[in-house]
Amino acid sequence: MYKEILNYQEKEREMIKIEKELGASSERQRLLRAKKFLNDFDKIESMNTRAQNLTIEFNKINGKIADLAKQLSEYDNMSGSSNGADEQNYFIKKVSQLDEKITSAEVDLAQVTTDINEHVKYFEDYKKKVKMAKDEFGEYKNKYDELKQSRQPEITDIQNLLSEIEGKIESDLFVRYKNIRSKKIFPALVPLSGENCGHCRMELAMNRISEIKDKKIIECEDCGRLIYIQE
Q: For binding to Zn ion (CB under 5 A), which residues are involved?
A: 197, 199-200, 202, 220, 222-223
CA distance 157 to 27: 24
Whichever of 11 and 199 has its CB closer to Zn ion, that residue is 199
Residue 198 Cβ vs Zn ion, minimum distance, rounded to whole Å: 8
CB distance 98 to 72 below 8 Å:
yes
- CB of residue 208 to Zn ion, shortest distance in Å: 11
Between 158 and 185, name the residue whose CB sits nearer to Zn ion.
185
Closest separation in Å from C-beta 37 to Zn ion: 41
Residue 47 or 202: the one with the smaller Cβ distance to Zn ion is: 202
Quick one: angle between helices 3-24 and 171-181, nearest 10? 20
Would you say 218 and 211 are in contact if contact means Cβ atoms under 8 Å apart?
yes
Phi, psi of 193, deg, nearest 5: -120, 100
Q: Cβ of residue 28: shortest distance to Zn ion, in angstroms?
A: 32
**Residue number with CB closer to Zn ion (45 or 195):** 195
Which of these, 121, 130, 148, 122, lies nearest to 36 by C-alpha position?
130
Q: In the complex, what is the shortest distance from the CB of residue 219 to Zn ion, in angstroms, rounded to a whole number?
A: 9
Q: Nearer to Zn ion by C-beta: 140 or 208?
A: 208
DSSP 102-168: HHHHHHHHHHHHHHHHHHHHHHHHHHHHHHHHHHHHHHHHHHHHHHHHHHHHHHHHHHHHHHHHHTT
